[in-house]
Structure 1
């Protein structure tokens, strides 16, 4: 619902008529294309090495960026090359078509460690903020708006200062957690009518509906359409992913509930399977050497709001831990919003997860 106290998004976003020039460092700038995936990968990983980030990307992960139809790289990206035609900096502004409660512009960018201190990063960020404001204004969605970027907690202090100087504020904090799989994993039984099954393609759409329901009350979450839900899965591990089904749902009660969303209601009327919880995992082999151990990663975990309190999440996590361990992983790893409203941090602690590192979200609220 539109907040009548808000000015129109076209005014609040305050989009610049023209974007600021990028002149620092004498780089040559042009929009990115899919053919630049290898260059972009080399740059992003060079930054990750210099900043001691706990990850390294693969070319498939970078190629995923270009596969999404909603991204327009011709207008929303820039690559900065030096005289030797080596990529030294990049910028990418990204909006999501399904945003309804808050329209967001995600701002991504980096400068090669060898070219820091020349003012390139400040100009990249200024360009990103300007382009982000233009995208928000062009959305036509008169709802709250947000410019978003992220940083590891232990990233160089200059990065945090640059964001703060540009008007960003650290608003959300995330903990990277791990759980030793050499410690016994609890056997958690589900209640009557609930059945844990492997992820399968035919259950992916019911899982998307479960996700949108599970995250409706999470700060910063917006509904995902089919394309955004299925994008970015180059490292997805179906064999490590599980779902919980209600095999005999009370359809009449669910259809009569005020908070059953329209898509779920249509699915129930059509007799589709009802996914009530899910754990989707990925295998990031390129990170094993960086972290110094093999691990399975839980990318997404959620339980439908009407099914909370029935031990569904612990059952899914325990099943994932057993799957990880069976494939020779030493740890189970995941990331959690420290202000998660469902008490997730307490759940993870009860299952033996411990904090390893952290990151934060910076934003400008409009």
Structure 2
């Protein structure tokens, strides 16, 4: 069987989107990506296509790909993100094994170039519906380490909205708040599992310059000295709506600086954002939360009208 193996390029975005949609038809994750979404992911600053990706082609057809993406920091271990997808018609054991072997070799080589003195772990993201992927990872020595809940709220059925704290000033997101918002996100998520601080470059690409970011549906609460104390940052994926027919806003980031926690600040700002999203024509909201979150985030989101609709798991393999 003659298959061509080569590095992924940005020009492969449409082929990757088609492959993921074919996989979605067999093992639904409720995630849908356009070629533009994929291009945005492939151009993230820490993604290294030349030496950190591979694609497998059967003639003109993309049948599988894999990536290994170094983190910006080791904290203290280097938790390298890996991903792998194979077209459902080509899911034989051998191809999955070959891609994982490539992934292992590549991850170790990239690790040696980035954080050679840290311990290396490979981290894969797997939806509960992705049984084939989970079985391939388990056979390669990965184990499920963490679970994250996707929660959704119908915006026509929101509970009563709590008042915003009078000591903080509400503003809509504007470019002038880019760095203060990044600093607040880094502070709010410091110590969270898998979190490393965002650099200005990565933050700008991952959020602010991303095609899905919706500043009109993103809000901040400022302290008296102008610091961002709490934030809700939103995104919208057109490809998702084209498939589902539902206009869904994604709450990409919601949080409060550590010094302001325990006063219902994030709950009030999230509730305000949901009402604004409803008024802007969104029908539903979604977010993702670590089910082991130490700040009772699941209960906070339930008070805002969210319920768990599916789960995604972190599968981890410590490397020798």
Quote the offset at 1:149 in angstroms: 0.5
Alignment partner of 1:52 is 2:34: no
Q: Distance in 2 between matches of 1:278 and 1:336?
A: 16
Q: Which residue of 2 aligns with 1:6?
A: none
TM-score (norm 2): 0.93
Alignment partner of 1:304 is 2:257: yes
Quote the offset at 1:359 in angstroms: 0.8
Quote the offset at 1:118 in angstroms: 5.3
Deviations 1:207-249 (A, max 9, x none): 100111111121111111012112232211111111111024x
Q: Give matches, 1:158-197, under 5 Å.
A: 158-197=132-171
Q: Where does structure 2 lack aligned partners over 5 or more consecutive residues?
A: none
Q: Is the 8 A contact 1:91 1:107 kept in 2?
A: yes
* SS class of match (1:148): strand
Q: Which residue of 2 aligns with 1:242?
A: 219
Q: Is the 8 A contact 2:152 2:286 kept in 1?
A: yes
Change (3 A) 1:277 1:101: farther
Q: Which residue of 2 aligns with 1:322?
A: 275
Q: Which residue of 2 aligns with 1:138?
A: 113
* SS class of match (1:319): helix
Deviations 1:11-68 (A, max 9, x none): xxxxxxxxxxxxxx53111112222222222222222222222011011111112323
Q: Distance in 1 between matches of 2:244 and 2:297?
A: 24
Q: Give matches, 1:120-159, under 5 Å.
A: 120-140=95-115, 142-156=117-131, 158-159=132-133
**Greater Rg by CA:** 1
Alignment partner of 1:103 is 2:78: yes
Q: Where does structure 1 lack aligned partners over 5 or more consecutive residues?
A: 1-24, 249-272
Quote the offset at 1:298 in angstroms: 0.3
Q: Is the 8 A contact 1:196 1:245 kept in 2?
A: yes
Q: Is the 8 A contact 1:103 1:141 kept in 2?
A: no
Q: Distance in 2 between matches of 1:195 and 1:145?
A: 43
Alignment partner of 1:205 is 2:179: yes
TM-score (norm 1): 0.82
Q: Is the 8 A contact 1:198 1:243 kept in 2?
A: yes
- Which runs of at least 4 in structure 1 moved beyond 4 Å after TM superposition? 289-292
Q: Which residue of 2 aligns with 1:286?
A: 239
Quote the offset at 1:133 in angstroms: 2.1
Q: Distance in 2 between matches of 1:336 and 1:275?
A: 22
Q: Distance in 2 between matches of 1:102 and 1:245?
A: 34
Equivalent in 189, 192, 201 of residue 218 of structure 1: 192
Change (3 A) 1:76 1:247: same
Change (3 A) 1:330 1:141: same
Equivalent in 39, 48, 51 of residue 15 of structure 2: 39
Equivalent in 337, 351, 361 of residue 304 of structure 2: 351
Q: Distance in 2 between matches of 1:334 and 1:313?
A: 14
